[in-house]
Amino acid sequence: MGQDWCVKSSTAGLVGIAALAAIVAGHALGLAYTVVLGVVLAAVFGLGWPHYLGIPAKKTLGTVIALTGAGSAATAGLTRDSNYLTWTPIFIAVGFGAVMVVQLIRGTGQAHRLESTLGAGAGVAIAGLAGGWVASYRFLGEPGMTLITAISAAVALGIGMLAIPDRVSAPLAIVLAALAGPLAALLFSDVRIIPAAVLGALLAAVIAGFHRLRTLSGPVRNVIGGVSAALAPILSLGALVYFVDKLLLT
């Protein structure tokens, strides 16, 4: 089943696009929806990440990753500090510590300890960045920049769904996303063209990088692992979008 799911890898792109659509909907449905969505996406990603990597202690490490992302998203929505991601580094640090504790409990000589530590640590970092979407929502207050982000990322995801080599799809995704950003800016916001193009190119580069990693990792082992892999670039974009927004709009 895992290999068949991977062969229809357009599904991964559709999962990412659906997640982006749900994030954009937050500007119509409010902060509470955006926080709950961030928690849910982080939880789904966290529980599926160990399955995607095929590392031991899947339930324990998946729970650690999920709780890291859920905590980051929740505190980004609840904090009264204007630095909405104040708690995110703390959750990521605690998550890394919990991963190390799990490895110690497993005992010396257990198989794949290094792979488990590195893979779960990467998952902790990605899940923690999910809070950036909530922070971006609170910082912006209007959907223009979020629409620019979503459209540019959707273009990059769409290119990744095509059956063409990565050496072609990656630069193509970056160029087209850099063009889609300014077009979306003209239609939906007052953001200037050059910042929108820069943001689109950055988003596409991140998505293309994750797509390449997914290609190198081989067939997806099961559906939940595949969904987690599809959500990884979307969650990781959260903090990037937030900090780029602050640089461009302040």
**Cβ–Cβ < 8 Å for 181, 151:** yes
Q: Which two tokens stand for residue 97?
A: 């510590």
On whether the CB atoms of residues 154 and 14 are closer than 8 A, the answer is: no
Instruction: Give the residue from 91, 58, 60, 50 showing the smallest Cα distance to 74.
Output: 91
CA angle 69, 92, 33 (to 5 degrees): 25
Total Cβ atoms within 10 A of residue 93: 13
Q: pTM value? A: 0.87
Per-residue pLDDT of the chain (250 residues; tens, 9 = 90+): 334 444 355 777 889 999 999 998 888 888 999 999 999 999 999 999 999 888 888 899 999 999 999 999 999 999 887 788 999 999 999 999 999 998 888 765 566 677 788 889 999 999 999 899 999 888 876 667 788 888 999 999 988 888 788 788 888 999 999 999 888 888 877 777 888 888 889 889 999 888 888 777 766 778 888 899 899 999 988 888 888 777 776 6
Q: What are the counts of helices (DSSP H) followed by strands (DSSP E) for the chain?
A: 11, 0
